[in-house]
Amino acid sequence: MLYQEFLIDKITNCIEEKATGRTYETTLLLVTQEEIKKVHKKDGWLFNWKTEYQQANHQVYKLLVAGSQQIQGLISLEPIKSQQYIELHLIETAPHNFGSEKHFLGVPGNLVAFACKLSFESGFDGFVAFNAKTKLIDHYIKTLGAQILYGNNRMGIFTKEAKILVNSYYESYFDD
């Protein structure tokens, strides 16, 4: 069981270039087998995405700046239809978006917002669940509005908070 260790650096609309503050439209697409072969730990990625890509029922998406093929981040999701939620297995920002020298802000938040959006589109009311590292539970509560579900590390994002996240990255997705 993987425990999530992503930091939400900023909730933005799209993603934001750290140096200039300029925002960029994004798109999320399923990663192809050829693309996943180019994602390596030796290039600064922390996780073995090839293994994650091969997991049954896991869907791996790439975050792109509109008009570019450079991957800004990856997310692995699994729709759990029997319980009507999206399981968030793994999130990682690209190496150039990690740490103090990152190029873009808002990548992890964008990926989580996408998971919430996919949950709404699947008829799951925005529900997303994940296992959090203990040291990041308060961070996820404050930045995502996540709640502890049970045990020490199981967390979820529910409808109200999911709508806020989705509207942050997908302008006027919900016209409430």
pLDDT digits (tens, 9 = 90+) for 116-130: 999 999 999 999 999
User: What is the pLDDT, as a whole number, of residue 7?
Assistant: 54
CB 91 within 8 A of CB 109: no
β-strand partners of 79: 86
pLDDT digits (tens, 9 = 90+) for 96-107: 998 888 999 989
User: What is the pLDDT, as a whole number, of residue 100?
Assistant: 84
Nearest C-alpha neighbor of 79 from the set 51, 115, 46, 109: 115
Alpha-carbon distance of 5 to 13, in angstroms, equals 22
At 98, the amino acid letter reads F
Spell out the domains of the chain, with CATH numbers in brackets: 26-168 (3.40.630.30)
